[in-house]
Amino acid sequence: MAGAHTLAETERQVNERLAGMTIDFKAMAITSNLFRAATAVRNHLERTVLAPHGLSWTAFVVLWVVWIWEPIETRQIAEEGGFSKATLTGVLSTLESRKLAVRKKSKDDGRLVLVELTPAGRKLMQELFPEFNQQEQFVANAVDASNRDDAAEVLRRITKNIEENA
């Protein structure tokens, strides 16, 4: 899936292990390289941008989503960020304790909680996001400029296929 051995080495060893089975190595290469790349990129962004600001990946995603769409309901943040409402409860508590975000009860629906950034939270995002985008550029540099739209499109198709056919 990731690490120390190359995919070729893994393939050879898998062949030994799975004598007689039919394995689609091209499909395996797509998924394992997808995870490798996503992990490497995430680690890189965490190390270079988020950790110096004391933020976890998820805390950053929450801050980003709230920053772009505030005020926003917690269920929407969870959906946008791709994690559960239960997880969001914990992360929001952390962000509230750090005075970066606040929860407000919805006036229209007694079940809902709305989230906004504090001025400190907004200031942090204004400072942080250009750095983040700069490192996104570093990441994207590995892809030919003429190929970036295609690369993004392939990834988009992978996601869409799952959302529509799974």
Partner DNA sequence: ACAAAATCGTTTGGTTGCTAACAATCTCAA
Partner DNA sequence: TTGAGATTGTTAGCAACCAAACGATTTTGT
**Per-residue binding letters, 11-50, with DNA (x by CB under 7 A):** ----------------------------------------
Burial state string for 82-115 with b = 16 or more CB within 10 A and e = fewer than 16 = ebeeeebeebbeebeeeebbbeeeeeeeeeebbb
Applying CB under 7 A, does 74 fall inside the site for DNA? yes
Contacted by 24, from DNA, its own copies, none: CB < 5 to 8 Å by type: its own copies
Q: 3-state DSSP call for residue 72?
A: strand
Contacted by 161, from its own copies, DNA, none: CB < 5 to 8 Å by type: its own copies
Applying CB under 8 A, does 105 fall inside the site for its own copies? no
Applying CB under 8 A, does 85 fall inside the site for its own copies? no
Distance CA 115, CA 120 (A): 14
